[in-house]
Structure formats: structure tokens, C-alpha cells
DNA sequence: ATTATAACCGAACATCTGTTCTATGTCAAG
DNA sequence: CTTGACATAGAACAGATGTTCGGTTATAAT
């Protein structure tokens, strides 16, 4: 059955992508299979599903099986639209934001007592700034000057990704267990010992037993406001 | 039946509003009645519906009857979240994003020819990171190391606010007229002359006639990705 | 004590929504 | 001509989802 309603499959797929994208932006939710089909002049939900499957296989959309209104464009899908609609600036899809918990402050000098990492304040960050969509992010604002040579200054907002292991030389938020304190340093593993290295020549490194620290997260983004 | 699960009705309504808002931002779609109820510890969808009706009567949410996943906050609902949660920074509404034109690269070393500031690529920035909502922003990615002591490194994304005048010591994108070149430097006004000062001890300042430069914009935000 | 109200529950119901199944029609290749 | 691939329709199905209904419980007021 090759009566394409006047459209080539490729064009129809793009029209479908565009409809989904626009619908989401205009309605704040995804369209249903029936709504998509109606707009494209398809008389059967299964026909619509046929094309949605193809788009999904091609990685241009994603949907949650068996749940209502979950269709959304992937990054590739957005680019597919952008590639054809050159005359309009790419408009980010609705969900292109990451809510990052803001947990307070981290001292980039001497370790100081910091409340357990808990908070309900969030900061919205565009994933494009992160280069990737990450789970397990949290944000801390820096106090102090011990990471100045790493271009992290007092008052900077730093985003961390939760992970319990970092490579030598990577910067991380470190919880020192027996001190009940958290600090931001560059980490170097030295056998049973860990060197917590400031990036500031006037400051001495701190040494701790590897068993006595907990890596809270690795630095992935630094934001500084100057105005 | 006044067992409120430890929450006053007003507080529970706010918790509900917050959950809906956060869910939409994190998942790009609205929660179901069951999801809302689960999060609030309500054991029955009808109980959840009871509160949703109230919120709807109060104009804090809107939903499309009988359709799946259509619950959303109204403007009043968003304000209700922001208005009560004084102890936490206001969370920008979903559409509060500033589309900042990304105009390419700026050289933080020797001035080099740079195309006129034009481009159609944009980067979405949360105004909360800026501290203010500004018109006339543009973004440039840094090339070079001449601003290293100002904690601006190679590859950093820098946001500028269009302005034609900066104070001594402020950092700005500067267009040098007779060279037809743009550079990022710290600016110092010295009578008829301007000193374009690198923040790198290995580099000499550049002097230009004040008439020969045009301030393109002042640095207001620096973003660095490390991962 | 009674009464009224708000809050809460669980079951049932209606419909929405996505998905599967079966069948047909068209086209191209052999 | 046959075969296979692609596109299309409609019906049916399963489960998701919102809503209604009938009831209970706790509290405050009288």
C-alpha cells in the first residue's frame, strides 16, 4: 500500500517530528497517538504507531511504553528538524533543563563543618552547558581561595556529579569522616593515603587515610558571575 | 477525619504544587493522579483528586477533564510556590529562560580578526545564574590564556552584556577599529589612551587611542565545563 | 451528648491511550 | 506471473488514567 497521502515517508516522518515538537511547546505536554495521526491524516492508530516505531528505531524519538503522553524528541530528533528548517532558530524542547539541587557552600580552604548535604532548593541548568544529561548532580557555592590556580574562585557556583571515585588530579568534594567536614580539593591517591591538594601555592596539602574520606562528587561545571 | 499526615491542608497543597512543578520540569510531562498521591502519601486517588479539585477551584492549577497527564500550574500556582517558600530562592518558572546569542569565539591573547558579531545559535541560560534578567546579552567562547589570572581559561564560555562604557578594571570584549579586531581584556582608561590589560603576567599590555576602540560588551558570567 | 464539616479511604466505573493483530493494497524485482 | 517489502486500515485488546460513589474517621461547635 504505497499511497502516501502526497508525502514521501521521509517527509512524513519529519512532519511528525515537527508536530510533536510544536505540540509540546504549545501545550506543555506530549500529543497522543490519535492526535498525531489526525494531524497527519492517518486513519488508523496502528498506522501512526508504524511510523512512531520507525522514528523510535532511528533514535529520533523516545517514549515510555504503555504510558500516556510520553512521546518526546531526542537530541537527534531535534537536530533532524533543525537540519531541514534552516530558516528558524532551533528552539529547545520543553524538557531540556536539569534541576540541580543547590546544597549550600563548600569551603575551598581549610575543611570546616558543613551540614549534611541536604536541601530542596534547585537551580535549573541547561544541559547544553554540561555537554551531557546527567543524573546525580548537585551544586555548591565555593568559599575561599584554595582552588584559585584551578580557576575556581570565591563565590563560584560549582556543579558536582555524584561519584565515589575520582582519578588522580581531578577535583572533588570530599567528606572527611573523623572530622565530619567537607572540602573542595584536587585528589591524589597515594597508596593507603590520599593527598587533598589545594590549587594555591600558599597552601599546604592535607593528607588523610583513604578509609577516612568519602568522595561526594566530582567537579563538572564552574559558573562565575561578575556583575 | 483530620489526620493530615503531619501536614496542614495549606502546606499539603503547596507540597502538591511543588511536586507537580518539579515533576514537569524533570520529566517533561505532567504527573498522574496516582503519582501525585504516592508522593504525598495519600492512599487513594480520590483523596488526591479531592485536593486537586481544591487547587483547581483556587485557580492554582488547571487540567483538561478526562484526559491523561494534563495537570499544570497556573501563573498563580507558580507564584504560590515562590511566595511562600521565602526561605528558598525563588525557582524560576518553566519558561523563564533567556536565549543568549552565541556569536563564536573571542581571543584572550593577541587581537585577531573576528567576524562581525552575528549568529543565530543560541544558548539558554537560567536568569538565576545571572542574578538579573538582562536584555542585550551575547555569549562568546574564549580562546587563549591571557585572562588566566582573572580565572578565565581557554574554552570558557563567557557572557557579555552589550554596553559601550566600562569602568577601570572591568573585563570587556573590545573591538579595535583600525585593526578590525576583537579581543578580551581588562580595561583601564588613561586619558586619551586605553590600556588593554591581559590577566597573565607573561603578557604585555596593549595601548590604543580611546577613539580607536569600541567596547562591545562587559563580562557578566563565566561558565567552565570540566568533564 | 449530637451535628456538621473536613479529610480520608477503597472500590468501582468510564474512557482514554498505547499496542497488537489481521488483513488489504501497491510497488518493485525476479 | 509470483514473491517480498512497504504502507495502510480497522477492530480488538490490555492497561493506564481520571472520576465518581459510598462510606468512615476525627474534630470542632453547639
- The reply to whether A4 falls in a domain is no
- Nucleotides of strand C under 7 angstroms from a protein beta carbon: 6-12, 15-22, 24-27
Indicate if A74 and A129 belong to the same structural domain: no
pLDDT value of residue B5: 57
Tell me the percentage of chain B whose pLDDT exceeds 90: 7
| Nearest CA-CA distance, residue B94 and chain A, Å | 8
Tell me which residue of B226, B91, B105 sits closest to A97, measured CA to CA. Answer: B91
| Nearest CA-CA distance, residue A3 and chain B, Å | 33
Residues with CB under 7 A from strand D: A 1-5, 9, 12, 42-47, 50-51, 54, 66-68; B 1-3, 30, 32-34, 45-46, 48-49, 52, 63, 65-71
Domain with B172, as residue range(s), is 98-223
- The reply to whether B2 falls in a domain is no
pLDDT value of residue A52: 92
Indicate if B17 and B105 belong to the same structural domain: no
CA-to-CA distance for B153 and B223, rounded, in angstroms? 10
Which of B52, B84, B116 is the C-terminal boundary of a domain?
Answer: B84
- The reply to whether A153 falls in a domain is yes
Indicate if B32 and B63 belong to the same structural domain: yes
- The reply to whether B142 falls in a domain is yes
CA-to-CA distance for A49 and B44, rounded, in angstroms? 33
CB neighbourhood size of B19 (10 A): 16
Q: Is the pLDDT of residue B186 over 70?
A: yes
Indicate if B219 and B140 belong to the same structural domain: yes
Coil, helix or strand at residue B81: helix
Tell me the percentage of chain B whose pLDDT exceeds 70: 74
Give the total number of structural domains in chain B.
2
Coil, helix or strand at residue B175: strand
- For residue B163, the domain's CATH number is 2.10.109.10
Indicate if A73 and A119 belong to the same structural domain: no
- Stated length of chain A: 227
Is the minimum CB–CB distance between B224 and chain A shorter than 8 Å? yes
Indicate if B129 and B18 belong to the same structural domain: no
Q: What angle separates helix B9-27 from helix B75-84, to the nearest 10 degrees?
A: 110
What ipTM was reported for this prediction?
A: 0.51
| pLDDT one digit per residue (tens) for chain A, 227 residues | 555 555 677 788 888 888 888 888 778 889 999 999 888 888 889 999 999 998 998 888 989 888 889 998 887 887 777 633 322 223 333 334 556 666 666 655 444 444 344 445 667 777 667 655 556 778 888 877 777 777 787 778 888 887 777 888 888 888 888 777 778 888 888 888 888 888 877 778 888 888 888 888 888 888 888 86
Q: How many CB pairs under 8 A join A and B?
A: 133
pLDDT value of residue A174: 86
Q: Is the pLDDT of residue B97 over 70?
A: no
Inter-chain CB proximity A221 and B225 less than 8 Å: yes
- The reply to whether A57 falls in a domain is yes
Which of B84, B116, B142 is the C-terminal boundary of a domain?
Answer: B84
Amino acid at each position: 500500500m504505497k499511497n502516501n497521502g502526497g508525502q514521501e515517508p521521509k517527509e512524513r516522518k519529519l512532519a511528525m517530528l515537527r508536530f510533536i515538537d510544536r505540540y509540546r511547546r504549545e501545550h506543555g505536554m506530549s500529543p497522543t497517538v490519535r492526535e498525531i495521526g489526525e494531524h497527519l491524516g492517518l486513519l488508523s492508530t496502528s498506522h501512526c504507531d508504524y511510523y512512531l516505531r520507525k522514528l523510535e528505531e532511528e533514535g529520533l524519538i523516545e517514549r515510555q511504553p504503555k504510558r500516556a503522553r510520553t512521546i518526546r524528541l531526542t537530541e537527534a530528533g531535534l537536530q533532524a528538524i533543525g537540519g531541514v528548517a534552516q530558516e528558524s532558530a532551533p528552539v529547545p524542547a520543553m524538557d531540556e533543563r536539569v534541576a540541580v539541587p543547590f546544597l549550600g557552600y563548600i569551603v575551598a580552604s581549610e575543611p570546616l563543618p558543613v551540614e549534611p548535604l541536604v536541601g530542596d532548593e534547585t537551580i535549573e541548568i541547561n544541559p547544553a552547558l554540561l555537554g551531557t544529561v546527567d543524573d546525580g548532580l548537585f551544586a555548591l557555592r565555593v568559599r575561599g581561595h584554595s582552588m584559585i590556580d584551578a580557576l575556581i574562585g570565591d563565590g563560584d557556583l560549582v556543579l558536582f556529579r555524584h561519584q565515589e571515585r575520582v582519578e588522580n588530579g581531578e577535583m572533588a568534594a570530599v567528606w572527611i569522616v573523623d572530622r565530619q567536614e567537607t572540602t573542595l580539593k584536587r585528589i591524589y591517591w597515594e597508596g593507603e593515603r590520599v593527598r587533598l591538594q589545594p590549587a594555591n601555592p600558599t597552601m599546604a596539602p592535607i593528607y588523610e587515610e583513604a578509609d577516612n574520606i568519602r568522595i561526594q562528587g566530582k567537579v563538572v561545571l564552574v559558573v562565575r558571575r561578575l556583575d
